[in-house]
């Protein structure tokens, strides 16, 4: 943090000894240590509180954005009910062959839930 060397600390200690005297120097050092500890603790608590608030704001923003996206998807689904359904998923099944033959995977398509086009009546010739 600061570039304080041992010689600078020794100089500050010598000046404090000359100014305060040997009787009051230990009490002054103890008091200074207590104040420095309090300042560090309060600084760390403020820092943690700010980090927690920033994190809470970020989570709140993400939840809000997800809610907006869900509302947009629901609005699209309501406003566009005539869109064709999605393609049915393709499944793979293993068919058991008669004895002596090799088993192979077979791709099958699931039947659509609703037909995409209504059946046409037969034409008269």
What one-character-per-residue DSSP string does 71-86 give? HHHHHHHHH-TTSPPP
Q: Check whether 109 has a pLDDT greater than 80.
A: no
pTM (two decimals)? 0.41
Q: Check whether 82 has a pLDDT greater than 90.
A: no
In a 3-state reduction of DSSP, which class is residue 93? strand
Distance CA 90, CA 106 (A): 10
Taking residues 84-110, what's their average pLDDT?
61
Residue 105: predicted pLDDT:
58
């Amino acid at each position: 943090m600061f570039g304080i060397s041992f010689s600078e600390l020794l100089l500050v200690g010598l000046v404090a000894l000359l100014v305060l005297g040997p009787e009051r120097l230990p009490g002054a050092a103890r008091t200074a240590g207590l104040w420095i500890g309090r300042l560090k603790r309060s600084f760390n608590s403020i820092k943690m509180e700010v980090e927690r608030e920033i994190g809470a704001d970020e989570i709140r923003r993400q939840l809000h954005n997800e809610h907006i996206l869900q509302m947009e998807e629901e609005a699209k689904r309501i406003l566009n009910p005539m869109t064709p359904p999605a393609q049915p998923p393709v499944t793979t099944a293993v068919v058991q062959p008669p004895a002596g033959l090799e088993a192979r995977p077979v791709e099958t398509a699931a039947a659509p839930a609703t037909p995409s086009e209504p059946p046409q009546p037969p034409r008269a010739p």
